[in-house]
Amino acid sequence: MKKLVSEFDISAEQIQDIAWKFLRAIESGLSGENSSLKMLRSFLRPPTGEETGKYLSLDFGGTNVRAALIELCGQSYLRQISYQAQLLADPVTGYDLGSPDVTAEELNAFLAGLIDDVLMISPEGVYGLGYTFSFPCQQLNLDQARLLCWAKGLQTKGVVDQDVGRLLQNALAKRNLQDRVKLKAILNDTVATLLSAKYRDKEVDIGSIIGTGHNTCYLEPLEPLHNEPMIINVEAGNFNGLTLNNYDLRLDHNSENPGEQCLEKMVSGKYIGELFRLIIFDRIEQGLLLNSRDKHFFAEPYSLRGEDLSALLADKTAELSEVAAWLGKYAVGINSTMLESRRILVEIAVLVGSRSARLVAATYLGILLHLDPLVDRKHVIAVDGSLYAKMPGYAAQVNSALKEILGSKAEKITIRANQGGSVVGAAIAAALG
Ligand code: GLC
C-alpha cells in the first residue's frame, strides 16, 4: 500500500506547484500562446438577475439530455414550466447515440425530438433557445460553435469541426420547428452553472463541473480581445502540467484520446472508476487482494464508475458490510471476503477520491490567483456534477486543500453546490443573447 499511497498522494507543496503551473497555463492560453488550456471565449457577459421572459433550454452533456421551458421572472427568481429528460444511451437496447457508428443527423434528430416533446406540453409561442453543449467548442459568436474534439468517450461521427448550432437548427427545420424555436446561445455546462448561480448571487465568479467530466470557467473582468467582461471556458480537463503515475499512463494509453484531457482522466467520474478498477485488478494479480480466481470480475474496462467509489466510501459500518454487499453484487460469487480485503478496497477508493479533490482544488487556486493574486476579495465557486454532490467527503476535501494553502484567507472563498445549473443557465444565456 505504501507505494500506492506515494503514487496518489498530493502534498500541500504539490498543490501549490500545480496551482502556479495552472495559473501560467491560463495566462499563456489567454494571450494566444501555446497552452494545454484552450481558454475558450463564451461571448457571454454576466447576468444582472433582472432578465425576464420564457426560454427553451437544451442541455446535452454526454450521459443525460434534458430540455425544458423556463420562465425567468427577474429579481433572481425563475421557474420551470415543462421538462423532459432522456439518457443518451438506451438502457434497454444499449443503443448509444455517442458511439462512432451514429451520425450527426441521428444525434441531432434525437435532440430536436426532445425539444418537440417540451413544446407539445408548453403554451403556444415562439421561444429563444439556449443550448448547453458540454464539449470544447470554438465560439465564433454566441450562437455559432465549432466542436474542436469530443470528450468523455463520445465519438458520434460528423460532428467534430462542425457548427453544432447549425446541426441542431437543420434537425429542428426537419421537424418544422424553425419558426417556433430561435437558437440564441450555445454555451458550455460550466458557463451555464456560473450563469445560473450568478443570476441569484452577484459574488459568484467561477463555475465548475465535477461529474462524468471535469471543467471550470470564470468571469474574466476584462477579456483582452473584446475589452469587456466575459466568461471564459478554461477547458480545465485538458490541463497537462501533472505527473502521471503508472495507472494514469495505462488509462490514457488505452483511451480513445491518448495525450488529451489529462487532468480530466485523473479526477472525473468517468475515469476514477477505471483507475480504481486497474488498481484492484493489479493487486489481485499480484496476490495482494481478494483471490486470484476473482480477477476476471475486474477485467472489463470501464465496468466501475465514480458511483462505485462513492458507495464504498459511504460505508460507515464496523464490519464494512456495505462493501461486502457491493462486492457480492458486483462480482457475483465474491461474498466471503475478509475484513482486511474490504478495508483495502476502501483505502484505495480514498486514495483515488482524495487525489481528485486535491487536484481540483489546486486548479481552483490557480484561477483565484489569476483573478485576485493576494486573494483579498470574496469569491464564490458554483459547482455542479454527481461526483462533487455525491461522493462522501469530496466537497470537504476540496475546501480543506484550499485552507492548507490559503490559511485564514480561505474564508473568502465559498464553494457552493449548484445542481441543475446546465438547464437553467441555458435559459439565462438565451435571455442575454
Ligand atoms: C469535458 C468537456 C467540457 C465539459 C466537461 C464537463 O471536460 O470537454 O467542455 O465542460 O466535460 O461536462
Does residue 353 contact residue 393 with C-beta atoms inside 8 Å? Answer: yes
The pLDDT value given to residue 197? 96
The pLDDT value given to residue 334? 62
Is the pLDDT confidence value at 332 over 60? no
Is the pLDDT confidence value at 13 over 60? yes
* Rounded Cα distance, 196 and 216, in Å: 14
* Rounded Cα distance, 131 and 61, in Å: 10
Is the pLDDT confidence value at 216 over 60? yes
* Rounded Cα distance, 187 and 313, in Å: 34
Instruction: Report which protein residue has its CA nearest ligand 1's atom 1.
Output: 213
The pLDDT value given to residue 333? 57
* Rounded Cα distance, 402 and 397, in Å: 9
pLDDT (tens digit per residue) in 369-423:
999 999 999 999 999 999 999 999 999 999 999 999 999 999 999 999 999 899 9
Does residue 40 contact residue 225 with C-beta atoms inside 8 Å? Answer: no
* Rounded Cα distance, 140 and 131, in Å: 15
φ/ψ of residue 147, rounded to 5: -70, 120
pLDDT (tens digit per residue) in 116-138:
999 998 888 999 999 999 999 99
> Does residue 163's CB lie within 6 angstroms of at least one atom of ligand 1?
no
Confidence of residue 293 (pLDDT cuts 50, 70, 90): confident
The pLDDT value given to residue 330? 65
Query: Best of 36, 65, 135, 384 to mutate for ligand 1, by most ligand atoms within 8 A of CB?
Result: 135
* Rounded Cα distance, 188 and 208, in Å: 10
Ligand 1 mean position, distance from CA 380 (Å): 20
Higher-pLDDT residue of 274 and 294 is 274
Residue with cell 433582472: 50
> Does residue 196's CB lie within 6 angstroms of at least one atom of ligand 1?
no
Provide the grid cell at 27. 495566462
Ligand 1 mean position, distance from CA 1 (Å): 32
Confidence of residue 274 (pLDDT cuts 50, 70, 90): very high
The pLDDT value given to residue 92? 86
* Rounded Cα distance, 63 and 272, in Å: 16
DSSP helix/strand/coil, 264: helix
Ligand 1 mean position, distance from CA 88 (Å): 16
Residue 103 DSSP code: B
For residues 165-185, one letter each, b for 16 or more C-beta atoms within 10 angstroms of the residue's C-beta and e for the rest, the string is bebbbebbeeeebeebbbbbb
Its pTM stands at 0.95
Residue 139 DSSP code: E
Is the pLDDT confidence value at 335 over 70? no
Is the pLDDT confidence value at 331 over 70? no
Ligand 1 mean position, distance from CA 87 (Å): 17
Is the pLDDT confidence value at 74 over 60? yes
Is the pLDDT confidence value at 276 over 70? yes
